[in-house]
Structure 1
Amino acid sequence: MTSPGRTERLVLPGVLTAEQAAHTVAAIAAEQRPDGAIPWFRGHHLDPWDHVEAAMALDAAGEHTRAEAAYRWLAAHQNSDGSWYAAYADGAADEPTDRGRETNFVAYAAVGVWHHYLATGDDAFLDRMWPTVYAAVEFVLQLQQPGGQIGWKREDPEDGGIDRTEALLTGCSSIHQALRCALAIAEHREEPQPDWELAVGLLGHAIRSHPERFADKSRYSMDWYYPVLGGAVTGAAAKERIEERWDDFVVPGLGVRCVLPNPWVTGGESCELALALWVMGESDRAVEILQWIQHLRAENGLYWTGYVFEDRAVWPEELTTWTAGSLLLAAAALGGDEATTAVFGGERLPVGLEPDCCTQP
């Protein structure tokens, strides 16, 4: 088990003791395969976004060797076009169970790679992963539309590889963060990427100013807070956005709804909202959210995905590495972990360039 001494920075009153944090880290590590893959749980599938989220949590806890193994798995399974499939079976063959290639899943590798570098200072790792990040970003930007928004996914190549140009606000907000991390990697390597700078500028402008360019998923809490979490909406606009729908999604004492009108709070959404609140400078409310969801903590240190409060029932009955990972990352940000605060706080991440059409009144 991870030593409690390595998880002191994850301690939050009413959320995690050092021993509890160590227990949670060990539980994620127990689900990681010897080849580095981190499925939702053993026997279930792996998706690239949640795999990276869990790897970032391992880095936040000081488990850098395990995190690096997760990125080696990612590099080894990248498709020739720079993408990854949306889901892989948990098995020796890693057979895809969903052959769609979702842009936000592909882009998120850049967040994890930059986070690992900031946590370790390992330039050799960054050198090895740069081709992986570069190819992933180039794939994603193939689906960017003239308005800045980025299409959801490219379908199975066996079905013609058709692009789904419908843009999702949550996914694009996550991509916004990922492109800024990719630019940070490029700047560190002194390999300027002006096309990426324009792409992130256009995307940020679309998220802030053109909601009509995205599919209407306003029933989902992620569409509410992700523009803040992904760094596109900041300052007074971020506070206004969060306050506007707080009562719609937040269930005091229990957590954050996933989707309206369902009486279902979920650990992942709750932890991500806590991260967004921290980004806004509202640490007290962030800690309170994390305290509420401790009813989802299981004896093995992982967390149930969600809870249907009208039925007083855990649902689905699954303990996921990514739910635990999101909690550890929120705790790490609140505890001042440098790598985690850098990738989510964003003060030192490149902001991109908005074209003249977006900056003029």
Structure 2
Amino acid sequence: MDSRFLTPFTSMKLKKSTLQTRKLEDSHGMSAATGPETVMQSLQGSNLQPGSTLKKPYNPRIKVSRTSADGDPHFVVDFPLSKLTVCFNIDGQPGDILRLVSDHADSGVTVNGALIGAPAPPNGHKKQRTYFRTITILVNKPERSYLEVTPHRVILDGGDRLVLPCNQSMVVGSRGLEVSVSANANVTVTIQGTIAFVILIHLYKKPAPYQRDHLGFYISSSKGLSGNCHGLLGQFLNQDARLAEEPAGLSKNTTSPPFPKTDEKSEKVLKVKGHQVPVVWKQRKIYNGEEQIDCWFARNAAQLLDGEYKDYLAAHPFDSETTFGLGLSRGL
């Protein structure tokens, strides 16, 4: 079945999903999200109205970066030029809204994530868990629009409001904003063809007390984001990073390979954006546990980030103001 619905704002194509999505599991701990091996359906053949035409067809297969915020939430930042991957955790409070990407003044894009709480697992070191219950993407160029994603629905508003269920696969496009929903798996958002985000949907059929339906946020393409981009993830997108053997003052200008050999110490000092941060090598699973990566873990995220935790709190889901001004990002 192939059905089309048109509004003054959007053109939408609803079709039977060609993606393999995992069924909801009865057992605790398994979610319905699939990895982003294929995260976007083909937009070719969609009937777009004047003003909503695509400049060129999208590649239906998009490689997703490791740069992400997922789970409890766990943050991962990839530095491709340095061949380094860094990870850190943020222990927020339920109800907090975290600024993930802040580029309102330049590209016009802001991404906020709202946290929901859950009890910690028995015998765990944490008192509670937090997950992303809502991801809000604000776009103010060329025209203002926003996208609000929960595990169960997507709200798209660019003058006309459209509500999309997450349990159906469909593609929506207008004004340079493209949204692809893969049923119960992920939502891909492409902005002006140069910025792409993938939001994984984690659903539990029979959740344990410490589990909640939640979202994971992944950056697929950051080409269209400016050098002034900030936020918990955005501040690292245009940066380089290095590893040193010892803290400043003790080092002899030596640098370390991206990952330690078996006979090397797994503790280093990360030099990024003017910060020098102790890190330890570890492995972490991303993409709903489908890929295991090597990363350098910063136990103290406060040493890695600009400012303080409160500087990354948005007043509301549609808040695009930022504490950080131009030129804050510093070199090595």
TM-score (norm 1): 0.21
TM-score (norm 2): 0.23
Whose strand proportion is higher, 1 or 2?
Answer: 2
| Structure of larger gyration radius | 2
